[in-house]
Amino acid sequence: MLFWIVTAALTAIIAAALALAALRALRADRDEGDAPHPDRSDLGVYRAQLAEVDRDLARGILQPAEAERSRTEIKRRILEADRSARKSTRPRTAPRAALLTGGGLIAALLLGSFALYARLGSAGYADQPIASRLASAQALYASRPSQETAEREAAKTRGTPPENPELEALVAQLRTAMEQRPDAIEGLQLLAQNEEILGNYRAAWQAQDRLIAAKQAAPDTDPTADDYAGLADLMIISAGGFVSPEAEGALLNALNLDPNNPPARFYAGMMMIQNGRPDQSFALWSKLLAEGPENAPWIAPIRSSINELAWLAGEPNYIAPPAIAPPAGGSMAPLPGPDADAVAAASDLTQDERDEMVQGMVNQLAARLQAEGGNPQEWARLIAALTVLGDIPTRDAAITSAKSAYPGQADLFDQAAKGASQ
């Protein structure tokens, strides 16, 4: 109601000011029209002078030649005064037309403004002071759906992953082996990785959760920050990008072990956005963007939204830092797919089963990189895996392709081959 009162008052003031200006112009023109024009008054004087010349000529005061010169001069002045009077005369109806036109424009502007606001505005929307916005954000945070609910909603729009019968058969064997050896850390690592490759994200995060429990139960092995960040990553993917309370718990465990863990900080920032706290998200994401490297998987989504996020966070003057290239041989976040350690794992399977599974994983990674390309770390993983398998010709071909795609990362690829062969 207060909004409409203020709007109506401002509208009335503006309309009154415009109308007053038009009325003043009309009154001034009327006064000017009623008063004798100075040029028209001069015409009467000149005519009187002509009559005086005729009288002087009749009395003999002026000679005929002098009288004729006087008449000529006075007539010239009469013509000049008449010409000046015609130029300065304005139609009396002009101010009235302007007043009517201005009034019509004012009315149209006011009516159009109200109609536009009625269609696009939110007159009944309550004020949004900072305290109420923080309270709304907290309520949204507290009422988040669970992981299971979020996964059900995400499943309604998620497409069916492409079929891979060979890998599916191998993963089925691995699932059976893990039922017999539920505490096998290496096998659980492979199971989580391959369930993700198949698009079975719920099964993937459940395997990752079992992996963490197995490490907690083992005498000399503890879960790492990357283990918890990987669990949160799989849970968030399974929930369609939503950070559930259960996924947040995994993020908190990761950050407790390593406050600088980049994937955990990225997902924490995403959770803040989802719950109405762009200010907290900006604080996390702006630091991640400044740290780089540019080809880290979390940099692209941050860079694409950081300017809008800065504006929402009350930082309109923020300027995103330039891209930071990764150092040669630098590491990144764990990537899905096989690496040298995973290739040497799966000790709970028979040798033939293990070799067949590993070969399938490596072939799939190689096919994807050749068809779609990948980042330097993915190429390094493929090179290391092929080295462990002893497939040297294919490995050398992979090294050639990798160096062609990333000439500046040659040392990384050579080191991957050398490290895996030792």
pLDDT tens digit sequence for 114-124: 677 766 666 66
- Annotate 368-383 with DSSP letters as a single string: HHHHH---HHHHHHHH
Mean pLDDT, rounded, for 172-181 = 88
- Alpha-carbon distance 146 to 173, whole Å? 31
Cα angle value 232/238/243 (rounded, 5°): 50
Binning pLDDT at 50, 70 and 90, where does residue 99 land?
Answer: low
- Alpha-carbon distance 242 to 236, whole Å? 5
Indicate if the pLDDT at residue 253 is higher than 80.
Answer: yes
Q: Which of 141, 159, 354, 379 minimizes the C-alpha distance to 243?
A: 141
Residue 66 backbone dihedrals phi, psi, to 5 degrees: -65, -40
Q: Is it true that the peptide bond before 293 is cis, omega within 30 degrees of 0? A: yes
Q: What six digits make up the tokens of 419?
A: 């490290």
Q: Lowest-pLDDT range, 328-332, 374-378, 395-399?
A: 328-332
Question: Between these two residues, 315 and 349, which has the higher pLDDT value?
Answer: 315
- Alpha-carbon distance 399 to 405, whole Å? 10
Cα angle value 87/89/95 (rounded, 5°): 130
- Alpha-carbon distance 161 to 284, whole Å? 33
* First-to-final CA distance of the chain: 78
Note whether 92 and 29 are within 8 A (CB).
yes
Binning pLDDT at 50, 70 and 90, where does residue 419 land?
Answer: low
